[in-house]
Amino acid sequence: MNEVVGDRTVDEVLTYGRSEMESDCLRKLQTTMEIFNMGIRIEQIQLKNIHPPRAVQASFDEVNRAQQEREERINIANGEYNKSIPKARGLAQQMISGAEGYALQRTNQAKGDVARFSELLVQYEKAPVVTKQRLYLETMNEVLPKMGSKIIIDEDAKQFLPLLNLPTNKQR
């Protein structure tokens, strides 16, 4: 038993190495019995109530608490990792998909604008004056309603007062 225990750390002896120690001890003890032809067959060895010496019991307990706290913090950190990383990956994928959709929209819009301009160019080459006038009227038709109430004056006009509906003396 001393040989098996002496080859191990205190942690192995007191915690997780018990079953391996029991197997090693059983094998070595059975080998010894066979060497001396004792006729005894050992079936099982159980290590029970293994405690550290009293002088180091408090330190051992403190080390165990620290290890348990370490494991707990590792588990908490892994939980946070498992919660945050997939969420961030999903958000990143969502942003990438949005950007790809926006790029596709802009590309399609640009292709449509090119096709529309090409068609206008064909019409312009056929009849430049008519196309210019049509484009001007269509543009004014879009722009003027958005402007609200505005007065447009010819650049040759000398003054604009005659155009305003100002009350005269007779109307007062």
Q: How many domains does the chain contain in total?
A: 1
User: What pLDDT was estimated at residue 64?
Assistant: 82
Inter-residue contact 21 to 12 (CB < 8 Å): yes
For residues 34 and 50, is the Cβ–Cβ distance under 8 A?
Answer: no
Q: What is the total residue count of the chain?
A: 172
Is 128 inside any structural domain? no
The first and second tokens of residue 3, run together, are 């040989």
pTM: 0.43
pLDDT value of residue 171: 47
pLDDT at 94 over 90: yes
Write the DSSP symbol of residue 8: S
9 in a structural domain: yes
Domain that holds residue 3: 1-50
- Of residues 149 and 127, the one with the higher pLDDT is 127
